[in-house]
Amino acid sequence: MADYKKPLPRPTATSMPFWQAAKRHELQIQHCGKCGAHIFYPRDVCPECFASDLQWVTVSGKGTVYSYTIARAPTHPAFADDVPYVIAIVELAEGPRITTNLVGCKLEEVRVGMPVQATFEDVTPEVTLVKFRPV
């Protein structure tokens, strides 16, 4: 893992709880105490109603594939060894969409609308990425 060359997130004070939760293999996003919106990526104020009353909540990790592409050529040189790989947008059961990779399924089985579940990949000792696999 020491030779992990792909881009890694650089958490900020705002987003750190999300990445810390991922490291514990939990999916946490923000929830607005005023308007009830679930929010991803992490914000400082609710982007729907501008309230500051944001709480971190653990969510189900359930979602559906909103769209996907199979990268047949690397989208960045560091992904060359992964080709072909699936880049997807997953719509979480709670509403927000998240950029991710689909893992644990055959390429020809990937479909829009497919139910998926979050899975956690410890890519370095510090960083865990949130990926999704078919239910």
Partner 1 sequence: MSIKGKAAIIGFAEMAPQKGNGDKTPLGIISEVARAAIADAGLEKRDIDGLLTGMAIGDYSVLWPSVVAEYLQLQPRYFNQVELGGASAAGMVWRAAAAIEAGMCHNVLCVLGDTRGTKATGTKPPPFPRLEAEFDAPYGLIAANPGYALIARRHMYEFGTTPEQMAKVAVDQRKNACKNPAALFGDKEITIDDVLNSRLIVDPLHLLEIVSPCTGGGAFIVTSAERAKRAPHRPVYLLGAGEAGGHCGITRARSLTTSLVKPAAQAAFAMAGVTPQDMDFVQPYDCYTITVIITLEDAGFCKKGEGGRFVWEHDLTYKGDFPCNTHGGQLSFGQPGLAGGMSHVIEAVRQLMGRGGERQVKGATIGYVNGNGGIMSEQCSLVLGVQ
In angstroms, give the least distance from the CB of 86 to partner 1. 9
Count of Cβ atoms closer than 10 Å to residue 120 Cβ: 17
101 and 124 Cβ atoms separated by less than 8 Å: no
Name which of 57 and 83 has its Cβ closer to partner 1: 83
Q: Which two tokens stand for residue 59?
A: 């969510």
Given 35, 41, 45, 126, the residue binding partner 1 (CB under 8 A):
41
DSSP at 22: H
Count of Cβ atoms closer than 10 Å to residue 65 Cβ: 21
Given 1, 3, 10, 106, the residue binding partner 1 (CB under 8 A):
10
**Residue for token digits 């679930």?**
38
69 binds partner 1 (CB under 8 A): yes
- Residue numbers of the site for partner 1 (CB under 8 A)? 6-12, 15, 41, 66-76, 79, 82, 84-85, 87-89, 97-101, 112-113, 127, 129, 131
